[in-house]
Structure 1
Amino acid sequence: MSASAPSPREPRESRTEPIRVLIVDDHALFRRGLQMVLSQERDIQVVGEGGDGHEAVTKAAELLPDVLLMDIRMPRRSGIEACAAIKEAVPTTKIVMLTISDEEEDLFEALKAGASGYLLKEIAIDEVPQSVRAVHGGQSLISPSMASKLINEFTSLAKRSEEKQQQVPAPRLTDREMEVLRLVARGLGNREIAKELFISENTVKNHIRNILEKLQLHSRMEAVVYAVREKLLEIT
């Protein structure tokens, strides 16, 4: 009994290991401020600092942090470029972009590069520890003002996708099928079309069948109306 007693405590002990944080920003004063705030948290340990994107990649590979707080606009290598490289080299590291950039393009590129969070530096500095814990716990964080831009973009994409679905693209007909369709539109029958194009009636029938299948229609007249409406041909 006594030998097995420690086992229930093992999960709790493992959970008390501090969250290892790497801070990368080209402003030393900002780095120092973050370090001072995070160092006051018993469950967070700042394991290193960096001043540019290149250092972010090398130190992440060396220190294997749980969470990386990183700026976007940095010398030698941008935060977004560094983010993509780090996610490939150390996929377990959660990356939070902590930046002044409220550009939509930076937000989208950061998320595509694998960032788990995008926070503006206007965030209260005492909120950073909780953000670190949230991202480490698997949450994704985006500053409210940036989240609204993301929602607007997704809404716009959804509308464009719906419009594309509603606007069924005109199927591509071959040159010969277009010739047959034009003659059908002029009111010619299969025998007359065959003579006009120097082909057999069976070939004309095959072309018309293919046209109807491509256009998902049921009659020659429907095919003509559809083709005129979609500007596949003009009746003069």
Structure 2
Amino acid sequence: MGDAAARDGAGAEPIRVLIVDDHALFRRGLEIVLEQEEDILVVGEAGDGAEAVSRAIDLLPDIVLMDVRMPRRTGIEACTSIKEAVPSARIIMLTISDEEADLYEAIKAGATGYLLKEISTDEVSTAIRAVADGQSQISPSMAAKLLTEFKSMIQRTDERRLVPAPRLTDREIEVLKLVARGMNNRDIAKDLFISENTVKNHVRNILEKLQLHSRMEAVVYAMREKILEIQ
């Protein structure tokens, strides 16, 4: 399944969602909420990280809504496995706490979103649509902590650059700057007067060159290398 842009228009395919949480009541609550959305289809659920991986392989969801802390395999461990087995799946991690360590591990594992379970039902569906459209989502309460960590990361690495950064083309740097500003592929295409497919190719090349797994990791890289300045 492609970006949400591919779903525009009548007869478009809904966003396929897999719900993963070790609490059946929470899973059912999410399912009831999402069933009200015409453009979102819950295709399955799982109760732990190990089951999440097998269900993702079987169902090929567009979005995986997954709790961070679960038995058998944690959500972060499952995130890594799902991204390897089903690269097209985009993963939104859910948590009851705002532990920074979990957030950073989730980003490294390839998660595209990270939300607190206390968010409203409307915010869940909005986040699913945004992530399906190629954007990253993070709970506002975590944004400041993440920015602080980015600044700390820059300070720690300023004097430890032993290996030259991979060479990006001027166009790739332009695209990376816009990715780091949170723009989706469609908006980047408009800004640079190129096709959306060309943007997708550039983003894929950037991630491959930098050996990164997600757009969120690309943002971290852009800030660390001062491609995007933090005010």
2:61 counterpart SS class: coil
Task: Look up the match of 1:124.
Answer: 120
Whether the aligned pair in 1 keeps the contact of 2:49 and 2:73 (CA below 8 Å) is: yes
Deviation string for 1:81-114 (max 9, x for gaps)? 0000000000000000011131111100000000
CA distance in 2, matches of 1:121, 1:12: 29
2:72 counterpart SS class: coil
Task: Look up the match of 2:96.
Answer: 100
Task: Look up the match of 1:18.
Answer: 14
Report whether the alignment pairs 1:136 with 2:126: no
Larger radius of gyration: 1
Task: Look up the match of 1:154.
Answer: 150
Task: Look up the match of 2:224.
Answer: none
Within 5 A, what are the aligned runs for 1:177-188?
Answer: none
Task: Look up the match of 1:78.
Answer: 74
Whether the aligned pair in 1 keeps the contact of 2:7 and 2:14 (CA below 8 Å) is: no
The structure-2 alpha-carbon separation of the partners of 1:122 and 1:159, relative to structure 1 and needing over 3 Å to count, comes to same
The amino acid that maps onto 2:68 is I
Report whether the alignment pairs 1:38 with 2:34: yes
CA distance in 1, matches of 2:41, 2:118: 23
TM-superposed CA distance for 1:14, in Å, is 7.8
Higher relative contact order (CA 8 A, sep 6+): 2
Deviation string for 1:9-38 (max 9, x for gaps)? x97558721000000001111111110110
TM-superposed CA distance for 1:125, in Å, is 1.8
TM-superposed CA distance for 1:58, in Å, is 0.4
The amino acid that maps onto 2:125 is P
Task: Look up the match of 1:91.
Answer: 87
TM-superposed CA distance for 1:162, in Å, is 3.6
Percent same amino acid at aligned positions? 67
The amino acid that maps onto 1:93 is A
CA-atom RMSD in angstroms: 1.8
Equivalent pairs counted in the alignment come to 156
The structure-2 alpha-carbon separation of the partners of 1:86 and 1:127, relative to structure 1 and needing over 3 Å to count, comes to same
- Which of 102, 110, 132 aligns to 1:114? It is 110
TM-score of the two chains, using structure 1 as the length reference:
0.63
Report whether the alignment pairs 1:64 with 2:60: yes
The amino acid that maps onto 1:66 is D
Deviation string for 1:111-136 (max 9, x for gaps)? 00000000011111221111100000
Whether the aligned pair in 1 keeps the contact of 2:7 and 2:13 (CA below 8 Å) is: no
Higher mean C-alpha displacement, 63-72 vs 13-22: 13-22
